[in-house]
Structure 1
């Protein structure tokens, strides 16, 4: 096993594919609501503190996922792993979450654990270093422990393994400015977020930063920053990495992750959610080409009930995975995007992923590329 990955587009040699085993519910607490607040249609997270602190009628902290959806998700993730293996890529897997897993607990909170499915979130691979990033959702606090056997194997083979400081995740750990800013809350304000409840474990606003907020371009890292939790995480990265990398902040391109807004398909070419992304990018990257797919076809998505929790926008299919600079894995249902990429000379590998809006991720989210053939290049000079 060899850990070396500097980008998202050079030839993929080794990858970890997440596991959807026993993904049966969402733990809806303050941390979950704040993280997903832009997409909780009908259950807006602007209500998070009032509903949780006042035990609003009908609120269920554990939100059940229909068994059929969970089974179909598991089928699609296993098929994704098989497709990658069929392309000659070494595929590694996390430990599956055991059935009936006991709750995990922090200082003043408890949550049912989440399987290691969207594994791009809590880990950042920079060259030969594994960096476990500080999670923002309580139920995902120990998620990387399910990846520990794979990480251990890479460490024993010579990789560096680092963990960023772990947040305490009390109510007062979170910067609420993004959720409270009506200019960035889709659909407008509903109910004000109440003041967080004090805890004897409060340390103030803490660093929280997902690996999926970082766009890797060799020596350059583009990081989406939407509030102070993210800013503190970027400052840690700057101190840790020193002058080895150039870090470029983009301000509020999204509430959290950048990889459903813009992805690099090859040097000089981005896949972007909309044309305005160019203006949000660092100056040296505005001269690249920006491919904007057609609007999503509503018929490409399953129809869900009011009791089903939708966690992503219809643009989630932009979350593709590049096998190399010419080959891209695209959701079978996203025919408009596939046609755009084929017209640009890319080979498209269609892969089924039915319930991407229910589980908060696409192919890029579900994977963590650990070995790509590309080196530590300077794409901006």
Structure 2
């Protein structure tokens, strides 16, 4: 079918589902430090502070890249759960496309000014934004994910041959000077700025960087969460590129970056939100929609890990659900309170297993990129 995706809730026909194959390690570096944050908690977030995660070391080494191997058992269970999600989507009549797998023999990449292990294309929502009949590859915010969309090229080529537009936003150099954690008046206030960013001969100043998961799609309207100067530049680009086709709305510092575990449009007129405080950040017209406030997650909803397994994702990661249509949603089978809440609001809930969502930092919405839905450029606002 031809590429057509304007929202997250009209009937889903085709989707790209990510792959966890060869996810061997995580890179803790400057780009990761500044990505993990959560403005709504009033604290830095759920990952150990970069000031603290190497206790006893000289603070001057704080920004040095540090590779952390992922435990094989957790990775194997993640792969099982992703494949189970694929089976469930097919059973619901959705066509599932899969990216190329990362060859572990070629797992590192070097760019001018930095090097990083290549992250496999698991959370495919983040580095691509589908708007109607256009694929927009967004400029990455994490160095380890710089080349992630390359694994989706065969899928994008097929849609291009069928008539899709295909655009790549400017690719950043991603030196230390590219990031702006604190200079924008509307920046999220709890981002931990790097100590003494290192100069590079490839410095070009603050650059365009944003993830597709910063955006909420509602027909002809695109709502963009802006938490630093990188996001603001990206929104400038989107406004110019989409002029006359989409209306772009700026929403400031709802979270440090992604919003798809914070505010989720379930159908026209109904939002699932993390807390009532979310409404203060939304565009005025969205504040009048009906809201379902998520129950507070319980500790027993999640696996517990040893101290050497840092947890980057919020306890609210299970709000990162996937809508099959305006009445049917895929929800983590372990999140019983959320399932009951949605069923009380007359949604059909399809429970699906995903054990290590906090450890790997992604839910069903993150894992998927919906390429064909039946909706169009409606005026939901």
Is TM > 0.5 for Structure 1 vs Structure 2? yes
The 2-side partners of 1:7 and 1:75 are apart by: 28
Taking a change above 3 Å as real, the CA distance of residues 6 and 60 of structure 1, as seen in their structure-2 partners, is closer
Question: What residue is the counterpart of 2:60 in the other structure?
Answer: 54
Question: What residue is the counterpart of 1:154 in the other structure?
Answer: 159
TM-score (norm 2): 0.93
Taking a change above 3 Å as real, the CA distance of residues 174 and 56 of structure 1, as seen in their structure-2 partners, is closer
Question: What residue is the counterpart of 1:368 in the other structure?
Answer: 369
| 1:197 equivalenced with 2:198 (yes/no) | yes
For the residue of structure 2 that corresponds to 1:365, the secondary structure is helix
Aligned length: 375
Question: What residue is the counterpart of 1:292 in the other structure?
Answer: 293
Question: What residue is the counterpart of 2:20 in the other structure?
Answer: 20
Equivalences for residues 299-378 of structure 1 within 5 A:
299-378=300-379
Is the CA contact 1:178–1:184 (under 8 Å) kept in the aligned structure 2? no
Is the CA contact 1:49–1:193 (under 8 Å) kept in the aligned structure 2? no
TM-score (norm 1): 0.93
Over residues 239-277 of structure 1, what are the superposed CA-to-partner deviations in whole Å (9 max), with x where a residue is unaligned? 000122111111110010011110100000001000111
| 1:97 equivalenced with 2:102 (yes/no) | yes
Structure 2 residue corresponding to 1:117, chosen from 98, 102, 122: 122
Question: What residue is the counterpart of 2:92 in the other structure?
Answer: 87
Is the CA contact 2:129–2:212 (under 8 Å) kept in the aligned structure 1? yes
Is the CA contact 1:12–1:89 (under 8 Å) kept in the aligned structure 2? yes
Deviation at 1:55, TM superposition (A): 3.5
Over residues 193-252 of structure 1, what are the superposed CA-to-partner deviations in whole Å (9 max), with x where a residue is unaligned? 312111111000001110001100001111110000000000000000012211111111
Taking a change above 3 Å as real, the CA distance of residues 47 and 137 of structure 1, as seen in their structure-2 partners, is farther
| 1:244 equivalenced with 2:242 (yes/no) | no
Greater CA drift, 305-314 or 36-45: 36-45
Taking a change above 3 Å as real, the CA distance of residues 305 and 156 of structure 1, as seen in their structure-2 partners, is same
Deviation at 1:180, TM superposition (A): 12
The 1-side partners of 2:155 and 2:167 are apart by: 14
Is the CA contact 1:122–1:133 (under 8 Å) kept in the aligned structure 2? yes
Taking a change above 3 Å as real, the CA distance of residues 183 and 283 of structure 1, as seen in their structure-2 partners, is closer
For the residue of structure 2 that corresponds to 1:290, the secondary structure is strand
Is the CA contact 1:5–1:371 (under 8 Å) kept in the aligned structure 2? yes
Runs of at least 5 residues in structure 1 that lack an aligned partner in the other structure: none
